[in-house]
Structure 1
Amino acid sequence: MYALVRSGSFSGRARWQAVLPVDASAVIGSLLVIGAGAVVLGILLHPFQVRAVRVLEGYWDRWPATAGLAGVLTEMQRRRRQALSARAASALRGGVNARRVAADAYRRMASGAPEDVLLPTALGNALRAGELTAGERYGLATLSSWPRILMQTSDRLSEVLRSARTALDASVNLCWSFLASGTLAAVALYDEPVARWAPPASFLLAAVAYKGAVTAAQAYAGLMHVVYDLHRFDLLDALHHPLPEAEEEIETFWRVSQLLAGRSDAGLPYDHPRRSAPDHVDGSADS
């Protein structure tokens, strides 16, 4: 963007020789402008980070202009999943190589959302696979229990989760940056035949960044499953509910989900042992 503005691309033919600074003061000025602009832009856009991810996930039904496109892309995702299922079923009847194909097809289906809750994009389905299945395997509603169980994770697992989420956010931000750069380049360089490679290159890099975001989302969804595997009982302890017997686990966590959803009549016993009173309450101490 800074190079396009300095070259005058938006007002006519670009003068690319004007982009490069000619002396040390110009270099320092350019670095300050770019650095300050990046910091200010990052601060302004940080509150919209969740929204930036949600848009790429495919939550478009609320906008009339994109609701129809969402339906078309969701159907494409459904057909792709059905094709994977058919490929896996047919490959199971083959030899060793065919079984590898079936295993890969099942892995790809497991990394996406169930067919009845598909979203229009691969990123949305990768995240939804964690949001709707991580806790449900044990009777917990993931969306309502995730903020609470996240506070119970170990330091090592918390660091891994942060790293995966940072990778996801960085890939999403790169995708939006390349999309914006490609759009601006297309507007500014439409009359520059020698520079028409810039918009397609930016859009290609946006596609690569989006693929990276999908991979990061699949890793994050897998870690969500790990959190529930290791810390679901820590959630019960933090909420002061007794641990269930093995055959009562699903029922207990279902009741916890009801409680987190606002139902006060979930019927869960409350286990909050009182601390024993000190031997000396008058401030005296044994010698």
Structure 2
Amino acid sequence: MLLVLSAGASLLAVLLQPFQVRAVRVLEGYWDRWPLTAGLATVLIDMQRRRWESLRKRAVMAADADATTRRVRADAARRLSARPPMDVLMPTALGNALRAGELRAGERYGLSTLASWSRIHMQISDRAAEVLHSTRDALDAAVNLCWCLLALTPLSWAALYDEPGLWWVCACVPFLAAVAYKGAVTAAQAYASLMYVVYDLHRFDLAEALHYRLPAGPQDERELFGRVSDLLSGRGMPDLPYEHGAAPDTND
């Protein structure tokens, strides 16, 4: 029986592969399409906001307090930095971990992350791509494992209802699903951190690929990337000069 359950989990993982994006988005908390889940999302977002506010209060505790208080303050600040702003919180921890990267990585430089990510991703180095894809694979694997274990929870009870000696197996399945979900959140936080790194190192590669002149300073940079964001979001063409480099020598 355990062999059948394992085989079922493997088959489910294969079937989930074509729907990988949807599998991740459901666990992120994109539930607004259905009235029942939309209501649940509202309740969970309120819970996330209370947690966010609690972390904020701990993060601004007196800096001259004792060592324990300073550690609590530092931990709260770290956890708060891994969450998006309170007004755009998602219902789940996984959704908040990914949204933090989606809304902040490029915005620090005036560049819309959601609009530019697919373009800047094509400019990254092979070394960065390897690390990024490895982290994304870990996230997808954890999400698939979580879904498989969730699907196996009712199946295990149905298969082992007349085997009291194996009920512990049924109880372990949802626990392992929770562990897999926690692993997905950890991988998502690492992936979001790598998104920050990509924009730190490769945002000017995106400007060069679009043949726009590189900015002379921070203010010019924000203006340039603000206009590039308008272009990538479909809000019109930026009025910017092109920089095509030196013309080829036709005398050779």
TM-score, length basis structure 1: 0.82
Distance in 1, Cα, partners of 2:151 & 2:235 = 45
Aligned to 2:196: 225
> 1:75-86, aligned counterparts within 5 Å?
75-86=46-57
Aligned to 2:43: 72
Contact residue 91 and residue 101 of structure 1 kept, 8 A: no
Contact residue 84 and residue 109 of structure 1 kept, 8 A: yes
Contact residue 85 and residue 106 of structure 1 kept, 8 A: yes
Contact residue 57 and residue 123 of structure 1 kept, 8 A: yes
Whether 1:251 aligns to 2:245 is no
Q: CA deviation at 1:221?
A: 0.1
Distance in 1, Cα, partners of 2:214 & 2:170 = 58
How large is the RMSD of aligned CA atoms in angstroms? Answer: 2.1
Larger Rg: 1
How many aligned residue pairs are there? Answer: 251
- Which is bigger in relative contact order (C-alpha 8 A, separation at least 6)? 2
Contact residue 135 and residue 187 of structure 2 kept, 8 A: yes
* AA aligned opposite 1:74: I
Q: Identify which of 147, 152, 155 aligns with 2:118.
A: 147
Q: CA deviation at 1:137?
A: 0.5
* AA aligned opposite 1:203: P
Aligned to 2:128: 157
> 1:8-27, aligned counterparts within 5 Å?
none
Whether 1:102 aligns to 2:95 is no
Q: CA deviation at 1:269?
A: 1.6
* AA aligned opposite 1:260: L
Aligned to 2:148: 177
Distance in 2, Cα, partners of 1:4 & 1:139 = 53
Whether 1:268 aligns to 2:240 is yes
Assess, with a 3 A threshold, how the Cα gap between structure 1 residues 260 and 175 changes in structure 2: closer, same or farther.
same
Aligned to 2:184: 213
* AA aligned opposite 2:184: A
Contact residue 16 and residue 23 of structure 2 kept, 8 A: no
Q: Deviations over 1:56-115 (max 9, x none)?
A: 101111111211111111111110111111122235351233222111101000011110
Aligned to 1:119: 90
Assess, with a 3 A threshold, how the Cα gap between structure 1 residues 41 and 76 changes in structure 2: closer, same or farther.
closer
Distance in 1, Cα, partners of 2:211 & 2:245 = 9
Contact residue 13 and residue 145 of structure 2 kept, 8 A: no
* AA aligned opposite 1:218: Q
Q: Deviations over 1:16-55 (max 9, x none)?
A: xxxxxxxxxxxxxxxxx959x94x6555322101111111
Aligned to 1:237: 208
Assess, with a 3 A threshold, how the Cα gap between structure 1 residues 165 and 121 changes in structure 2: closer, same or farther.
same
Aligned to 2:59: 88
Q: Percent identity?
A: 61
* AA aligned opposite 2:90: L
Contact residue 139 and residue 184 of structure 2 kept, 8 A: yes
Distance in 2, Cα, partners of 1:43 & 1:199 = 23
Q: CA deviation at 1:150?
A: 0.6
Distance in 2, Cα, partners of 1:182 & 1:139 = 46
Contact residue 182 and residue 198 of structure 1 kept, 8 A: no
* AA aligned opposite 1:192: E
TM-score, length basis structure 2: 0.93
Distance in 1, Cα, partners of 2:236 & 2:43 = 41
